[in-house]
Amino acid sequence: MNDLNHDANKHTDKNSPLIKQLLGFALAGLAGGTLVLGYLQFNQAVPKTPVASPNMTALVDPSALAAAGVSQEQQTIDLYKRVSSSVVNVTTRSFQYNYFMEMVPSEGAGSGFVIDKEGHIVTNFHVVNGAQRFFVAFGNMEHSYPAELVGYDQRSDLAILKVKAPGNLLNPVSLGDSSKLQVGQTSIAIGNPFGLGQTMTSGVVSSLGRKIQVEENRVMSDLIQTDAAINSGNSGGPLFDSAGRVIGVNTLIYSPSGGSVGLGFAIPINTVKRFIPDLLKYGKAQYPWMGISVMSLSPRLAQLMKLQVSEGLLVMQTSPTGAAAQGGIKGGTQRVYIGNYELYLGGDIILAVDGQPVKVENDLLTYLETRKRVGDTIQVTILKGGKGKPINLNLRLTATREQ
């Protein structure tokens, strides 16, 4: 939930019967668990959207190869030969103070891939986070080239580097369409696990649209799940389909042991394609903003508050300059405290956006991040007089990267 600095009109005594019931209900609901996840970066001590060009990695239709009698094994071998030159190893260097307050270097390693002939490299934010120097190596890693950080976005875990390397080494990948992915199709990962250099693993797309909580207040949505073995150091590397198109960026593994257990997650390439222009032009992602903080309703909470619906998003606060307030959406006027949480009750209830029901806060966040851009119009359906009332809002840019 957002915490907007917006005064309430009324303060409610926390000793009232309703507040006592809400206190017990909300404390139980707020006691949630978080998945144990492993970022894939390997650490050790010591502006245009890319378009197809003749220099891009060539694509081959797997069905045509099969019809020509080329075995599955040979297809995989050929794919590696075609696309591996587009995959790079990213090394970072940072400087930290040790126990004796001496400045010592620390290195990290991840993966990435070339997206244009200008030398732009896509990788993960957590690969470059906190580093001061960046290096990119191609192929056999005999030589690395300096790179600079062009743009990054923590929420989507994406970053772009620009490497100063000879043009003959810059072989851009072909970007696929993750909206057409199906569970069961081939997925192939190439990267730099444990700093070992070019490594290829294969599997299938195990699931789509995964939501993973990576931090207390951050959820990564719409992730691709794959059983292709990916490990520390694969961060930022590409996930290919059988035709050699990039369908995702490897970013997370679920691993109680720290190694691959067949549960890897990749950022869909359509998400990457959406943010590349922003990262190249502004150095950061541009997120649309509604200017509200919300709380998810539940049947029990709705019953206690005597609401007419049991699902939706209760608007607690609105920013005076936000699209929601400008469109007439109202925040709460009853301020209550539940433990360390400050809540505002009595505001409008959002039932749907663009006709799609929203039940939890992340439904709204995900829709804004994946479907909308700054300047777009969104239709928000709120509860009025016992039925839905549509309101059109013009989405604005947020500096805080919240709703």
Annotated active-site positions, please?
126, 157, 235
- Rounded Cα–Cα distance for residues 351 and 330 (Å): 14
Residue indicated by tokens 């990916």: 230
From CA 6, how far away is CA 317, in angstroms rounded? 7
Q: What residue spans of 306-351 are helical by DSSP H?
A: 323-326
CA-wise closest residue to 333 among 346, 320, 322 = 346
The type of residue at 296 is S
The two tokens of residue 166 are 């000879």
Measured CA distances, 208 to 104, 179, 189, 342, 357 (Å): 42, 10, 17, 35, 20
Q: Residue 337 carries which side chain, given as an amino acid letter?
A: Y
Helix (H, G, I), strand (E, B), or coil: what is residue 245? strand
Q: Are 50 and 176 in contact (CB under 8 A)?
A: no
Residues ≥6 apart with Cβ < 8 Å to 261: 253, 254, 255
What the block records as the tokens of 190 is 């190439």
Residue-wise DSSP of 66-117: HHTT--HHHHHHHHHHHHGGGEEEEEEEEEEE-TTS-EEEEEEEEEEEE-ST
Beta strands in 8-51 (DSSP E): 10-11, 38-39, 42-45
Tokens matching residue 284:
């950061």
**DSSP E strands, 216-312:** 218-226, 238-240, 245-253, 264-268, 288-289, 292-296
Rounded to whole angstroms, how far apart are CA atoms 193 and 6? Answer: 48
